[in-house]
């Protein structure tokens, strides 16, 4: 009796964990695109619900996937200063949410076809 309960509990936990991973992948996952920061972005300042002022920089740049296919990517940098010019970023783009995340990468980590497009763009 106790063994069946523990097996059932383990199955429920595993199914729940799997569903959570799938949900996260659908919501936050997506395709990888590479961009190079070429502008300072468009600075905007806003207030949150508590009256705290925050600054962000809006970017609209061409990005390229690992096959060199392009997409115009629209995203915000949530820092007090613009993103570093000439920096390469790897962005995650989701069809429902747009750009969900970004991280700076080194030139050597960019797939060859994407890098060729970035250097020629």
Residue of 108 and 47 predicted with greater confidence: 108
Whether pTM > 0.85 for this model: the answer is no
* pLDDT beyond 60 at 19: no
pLDDT digits (tens, 9 = 90+) for 53-79: 888 899 999 999 999 999 999 998 878
Of the chain, the end-to-end C-alpha distance in Å amounts to 66
- Residue 55: C-alpha distances to residues 50, 61, 85 (Å): 15, 20, 18
What token pair was written down for 50? 């508590």
Closest CA to 84 of 72, 102, 110: 102
* pLDDT reading at 91 higher than 60: yes
């Amino acid at each position: 009796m106790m063994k069946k309960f523990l097996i059932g509990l383990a199955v429920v936990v595993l199914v729940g964990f799997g569903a959570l991973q799938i949900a996260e992948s659908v919501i936050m996952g997506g395709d990888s695109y590479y961009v190079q920061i070429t502008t300072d972005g468009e600075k905007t300042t806003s207030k949150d619900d508590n009256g705290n002022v925050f600054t962000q920089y809006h970017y609209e740049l061409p990005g390229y996937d690992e096959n060199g296919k392009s997409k115009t990517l629209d995203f915000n940098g949530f820092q007090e200063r613009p993103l570093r010019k000439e920096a390469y970023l790897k962005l995650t783009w989701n069809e429902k949410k747009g750009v969900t995340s970004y991280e700076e990468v080194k030139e050597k980590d960019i797939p060859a076809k994407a890098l060729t497009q970035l250097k020629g763009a």
